[in-house]
């Protein structure tokens, strides 16, 4: 359906849509539902009733999911629109919410950004719509990430338990073992750079998502949020554990000055000048399509540990599908979200290369036994699923994390380009965030 | 002066062409200006050369070869085919959208600028000075600054995410209006209009039969300006459009580029580069064909006759 057609619909049939939703409601009560919860949605009748929803998402595997969903539910039309990746989409979403028009029925929102939209009451609580019964469906990290207060503000779509992706050829050539602790990692970094001055163990020019995930694994809890009260503290033990090691990597110039996702990055991953990636479990698909020239060279191992013998990991990236509060078709929207993230859509997305957040898929034999040709036949998912189970609990983001990440490079990022240290950079970040939080009406560090 | 050598059969000779030629040999060469022009030339051509060279490379070739020279494999045709067919040929759809925005937006803007400029130059009416002040003021306001207010206004009218949200703001070209105004004042002698009126020609007839042909160089100039602006328009559609089926090429290419930075996304740098090359080709052609008109348009009024 074309946008023009849709606009005409929106203009003329706004009320029609609303009444559709209403009749869907009454339909479910007529059908008797049978569930104890009076508000619980009878998904089948909502789908039978049909309608039209708009989905804003950049996740590529959703295209197949939408096609299957529409085939199974002929009365439903799903308009999947890629409005931009990450921040671009959040800006568009916030614009639409502010304008009160053009808000999608479903939006992809990364875990770190969920609290920001949830606390502004921009998202529908999915608990009463049926998400309340999904306890145990998802791994703990993502499942807690979509919850805020008593509400469930999205269903986890994918997850990014971290692992160490490394170029086996580089390690073989230099003759060092793949590091299992961060101390060994530092040693390996020195060895790799010494063997070839153009080669680095990793790239890093300051990346908020990576830094916070590293602090997460190290046991730091810089953000503690309870309603509108919070503390922001980048001096706790876990944080300093991370900065101590990472500062040495920066000082000794052992990190490639290349930003992630740039073309130089893809080049470095392909020619061996970037030897490892400590990154989320969604990375295999990107390596396969973006770095085909290095096929067979990469492997995956457990994330290096802070204490040898430990098995701690953290989440890096990953996103949920949420239903904006302004959606006029929340029940149908939820039916789609449930299909995509907890129903048949999950397998479709796994087949398309996505890394799921559902325990059933993660633990399935078929999933774990899959041999990745790109990774020299390694059963990569086994390592990654293990990582998903070992994510350290208790991490929180501030409810203005999108803003926080946007000023990361002005503060912490300075440590990579000037004489500022990571600790000083984090202190500056903290100061800005405390000031911003106060301005926004939160009670910070009091 | 390339315009004097580039001739297209069947086209009327540009107005000022003949006056340039005799002057040329008399110009003395200055080393300084030659060097400066050379630097500017290299500065503007290097990105183009880079684009052409890299459009011939595969994704792997892009990363394993020197940026300003060809890789071992020559994949230009394959890249073009892939660009045109990727994602069910969405590139062609974007191309069509851009054409639509340019024809309606730039065409409409030019049309309005002609009407307005002519009217302001050749007719007296109360409040003319105010109109002048507003037009000059509007020239100074960058379109980017107006994009967000326009978005909020359009979304109240229910126009966002439609082609109209890109076309309507493109219709307003204060600079074009100003240009047409000064050009009309110079190019159309008021005596000519008076003579036409004396002979009983109506205002519309005078405008279409007498004034419009005289304005041709100015029209081409404004058309080129608005065309380039609309063809390259990025920020306005970025704010207005959500549905990729209505994206112009600029937004579409950006979306392709962003795929490389998406978990699970397919990196298609080679298609982004080839797509960019295909995107600028029509503009290059338009400039080559129309530049002689443009030149005379810009030069008009510089010499008192």
Shared domain for B49 and B99, answered yes or no, is: no
pLDDT at A12 exceeding the cut of 50:
no
| B264 close contact with A: CB closer than 8 A | yes
The residue with greater pLDDT, B74 or B29, is B74
Task: Give percent of chain A above pLDDT 90.
Answer: 74
Query: What's residue B100's pLDDT?
Result: 95
Shared domain for B43 and B170, answered yes or no, is: no
Q: For the whole model, what pTM was predicted?
A: 0.79
Best of A53, A266, A272, A280 to mutate (most B CBs within 10 Å, chain B)? A266
B-chain residues within 8 Å CB-CB of A283? 263
Q: Do A95 and B239 touch (CB under 8 A)?
A: yes
Query: What's residue B294's pLDDT?
Result: 63
A-chain residues within 8 Å CB-CB of B87? none
Query: What's residue B82's pLDDT?
Result: 93
* Residue B170 C-alpha, separation from nearest chain A C-alpha, in angstroms: 19
The residue with greater pLDDT, B36 or B217, is B36
Query: What's residue B25's pLDDT?
Result: 54
CATH number of A3-159+318-363: 3.40.190.10
The complex scores an ipTM of 0.72
Shared domain for B135 and B53, answered yes or no, is: no
B241 sits in the region (left: phi over 0; alpha: psi -120 to 50; else beta) called beta
The residue with greater pLDDT, B142 or B304, is B142
Rounded distance between C-alpha atoms, residue A416 and residue A259, angstroms:
11
Shared domain for B193 and B58, answered yes or no, is: no
Q: Do B269 and A266 touch (CB under 8 A)?
A: yes
Residues 120 through 179 of chain A touching chain B, CB cutoff 8 Å: 158, 160
CATH of the domain at B211: 1.10.3720.10
pLDDT at A9 exceeding the cut of 60:
no
When mean pLDDT is compared across A41-50, A305-314, A404-413, the lowest value belongs to: A41-50
Query: B142 falls in which pLDDT band (50, 70, 90)?
Result: confident
Shared domain for B154 and B189, answered yes or no, is: yes
Shared domain for B117 and B230, answered yes or no, is: yes
Element (H, E) at A147: strand A147-148
Query: What's residue A344's pLDDT?
Result: 93
pLDDT at A37 exceeding the cut of 90:
no
Q: Do B242 and A83 touch (CB under 8 A)?
A: yes
Q: Do B246 and A3 touch (CB under 8 A)?
A: yes
Shared domain for B69 and B102, answered yes or no, is: no
| B201 close contact with A: CB closer than 8 A | no
Shared domain for B290 and B217, answered yes or no, is: yes
Please give the backbone phi and psi of residue A371, each rounded to the nearest 5 degrees, phi first. -95, 130
Instruction: Please give the tally of structural domains in chain B.
Output: 2
Closest residue in chain A to residue B256, using alpha carbons only = A84
Shared domain for B139 and B281, answered yes or no, is: yes
* Residue B84 C-alpha, separation from nearest chain A C-alpha, in angstroms: 19
For residue B64, tell me if it sits in a domain: yes
For residue B83, tell me if it sits in a domain: no
* Three-class SS state of A252: coil
For residue B283, tell me if it sits in a domain: yes
Shared domain for B153 and B183, answered yes or no, is: yes
Domain layout of chain A by residue ranges: 3-159+318-363, 162-314+367-444
Shared domain for B103 and B244, answered yes or no, is: yes
Closest residue in chain A to residue B60, using alpha carbons only = A293
Sheet strands side by side (includes A76-81): A76-81, A51-56, A106-110, A319-322, A155-156
Domain-ending residue, one of B52, B74, B96: B74
pLDDT average, residue stretch A370-397: 94
When mean pLDDT is compared across A211-215, A223-227, A409-413, B299-303, the lowest value belongs to: B299-303
Fold for domain A162-314+367-444?
Answer: D-Maltodextrin-Binding Protein; domain 2 (3.40.190)
Other Cβ atoms within 10 Å of A210 Cβ, number: 19
A366 contact partners, CB below 8 Å, separation of at least 6: none
Would you list the DSSP string of chain B? -GGGT---TTSPPPTTHHHHGGGGGGPPP-HHHHHHHHHHHHHHHHHHHHHHHHTTS-HHHHHHS-TTS--SS--HHHHHHHHHHHHHHHHHHHHHHHHHHIIIIIHHHHHHHHHHHHHHHH---TTHHHHHHHHHHHHHS-HHHHHHHHHHHHHHTT-TTSTHHHHHHHT--HHHHHHHHHHHHHHS-HHHHHHHHHTT--HHHHIIIIIHHHHHHHHHHHHHHHHHHHHT--HHHHHH---GGG--HHHHHHHHHHHTTSTTPPP-HHHHHHHHHHHHHHHHHHHHHHHHHHHHHHHTTSS--
pLDDT at A24 exceeding the cut of 80:
no
Q: What is the pLDDT of residues A247-297, one digit of tens each?
A: 999 999 999 999 999 888 999 999 999 999 999 999 998 899 888 889 999
- What is the domain extent for residue B156? 88-299
Shared domain for B218 and B126, answered yes or no, is: yes
| A60 close contact with B: CB closer than 8 A | yes
* Residue A319 C-alpha, separation from nearest chain B C-alpha, in angstroms: 10
pLDDT at B22 exceeding the cut of 70:
no
B-chain residues within 8 Å CB-CB of A160? 263
Q: What is the pLDDT of residues A300-334, one digit of tens each?
A: 999 999 999 999 999 998 999 999 999 999 999 99
Check: CB of residue A114 under 8 Å from CB of residue A146: yes
């Amino acid at each position: 359906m074309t946008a023009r057609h849709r606009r005409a619909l929106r203009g003329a049939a706004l009320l029609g849509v609303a009444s559709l939703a209403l009749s869907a409601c009454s339909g479910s009560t007529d059908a008797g539902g049978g569930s104890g919860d009076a508000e619980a949605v009878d998904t089948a009748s909502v789908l039978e009733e049909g309608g039209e929803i708009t989905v804003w998402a950049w996740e590529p595997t959703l295209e197949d999911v939408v096609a299957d969903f529409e085939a199974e539910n002929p009365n439903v039309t799903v308009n999947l629109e890629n409005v931009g990746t990450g921040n671009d989409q959040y800006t568009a979403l916030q614009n639409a919410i502010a304008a009160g028009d053009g808000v999608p029925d479903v939006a992809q929102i990364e875990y770190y950004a969920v609290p920001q939209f949830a606390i502004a009451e921009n998202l529908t609580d999915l608990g009463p719509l049926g998400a309340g019964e999904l306890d145990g469906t998802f791994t703990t990290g993502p499942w807690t990430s979509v919850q805020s207060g008593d509400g469930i503000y999205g269903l986890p779509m994918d997850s990014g338990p971290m692992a160490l992706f490394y170029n086996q050829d580089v390690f073989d050539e230099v003759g060092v073992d793949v590091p299992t602790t961060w101390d060994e990692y530092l040693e390996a970094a020195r060895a790799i750079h010494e063997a070839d001055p153009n080669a680095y163990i990793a790239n890093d020019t300051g990346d908020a998502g990576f830094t916070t995930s590293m602090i997460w694994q190290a046991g730091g809890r810089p953000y503690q949020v309870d309603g509108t009260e919070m503390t922001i503290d980048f001096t706790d033990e876990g944080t300093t554990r991370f900065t101590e090691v990472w500062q040495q990597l920066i000082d000794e110039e052992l990190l490639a000055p290349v930003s992630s996702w740039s073309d130089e990055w893809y080049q470095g991953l392909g020619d061996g000048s970037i030897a490892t990636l400590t990154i989320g479990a969604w990375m295999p698909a990107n390596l396969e399509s973006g770095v085909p020239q290095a096929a067979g060279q990469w492997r995956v191992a457990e994330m290096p540990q802070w204490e040898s013998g430990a098995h701690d990991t953290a989440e890096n990236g990953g996103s949920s599908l949420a239903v904006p509060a302004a959606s006029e078709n929340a029940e149908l929207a939820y039916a789609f979200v449930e299909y995509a993230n907890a129903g048949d859509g999950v397998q479709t997305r796994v087949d398309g290369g996505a890394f799921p957040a559902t325990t059933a898929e993660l633990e399935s034999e078929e999933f774990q036994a899959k041999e990745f040709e790109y990774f020299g036949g390694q059963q990569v998912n086994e390592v990654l699923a293990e990582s998903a189970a070992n994510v350290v609990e208790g991490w929180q983001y501030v409810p203005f994390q999108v803003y926080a990440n946007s000023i990361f490079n002005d503060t912490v990022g300075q440590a990579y380009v000037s004489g500022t240290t990571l600790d000083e950079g984090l202190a500056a970040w903290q100061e800005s965030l405390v000031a911003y939080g106060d301005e926004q009406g939160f009670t910070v560090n009091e | 002066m390339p315009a004097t050598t580039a001739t297209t059969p069947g086209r009327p000779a540009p107005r000022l062409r003949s006056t340039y030629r005799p002057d040329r040999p008399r110009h003395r060469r200055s080393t300084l200006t030659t060097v400066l022009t050379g630097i500017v030339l290299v500065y503007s051509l290097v990105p183009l050369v880079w684009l052409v060279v890299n459009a011939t490379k595969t994704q792997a070739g892009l990363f394993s070869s020197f940026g300003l020279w060809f890789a071992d494999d020559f994949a230009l045709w394959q890249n073009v085919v892939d660009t045109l067919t990727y994602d069910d040929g969405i590139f062609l759809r974007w191309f069509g959208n851009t054409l639509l925005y340019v024809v309606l937006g730039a065409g409409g803007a030019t049309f309005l600028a002609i009407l307005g400029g002519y009217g302001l130059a050749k007719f007296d009416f109360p409040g003319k000075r105010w109109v002048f002040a507003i037009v000059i003021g509007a020239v100074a306001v960058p379109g980017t600054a107006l994009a967000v207010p326009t978005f909020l206004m359009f979304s109240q009218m229910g126009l966002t995410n439609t082609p109209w949200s890109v076309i309507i703001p493109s219709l307003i070209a204060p600079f074009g209006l100003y240009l047409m105004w000064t050009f009309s004042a110079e190019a159309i002698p008021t005596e000519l209009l008076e003579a036409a009126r004396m002979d009983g020609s109506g205002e519309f007839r005078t405008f279409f039969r007498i004034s419009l042909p005289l304005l041709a160089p100015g029209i081409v100039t404004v058309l080129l300006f608005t065309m380039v602006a609309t063809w390259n328009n990025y920020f306005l559609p970025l704010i207005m459009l959500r549905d990729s089926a209505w994206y112009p090429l600029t937004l579409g290419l950006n979306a392709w580029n962003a795929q490389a930075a998406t978990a699970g996304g397919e990196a298609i740098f080679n298609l982004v580069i080839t797509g960019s090359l295909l995107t600028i080709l029509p503009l290059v052609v338009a400039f080559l064909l129309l530049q002689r008109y443009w030149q005379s348009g810009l030069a008009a009024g510089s010499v008192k006759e």
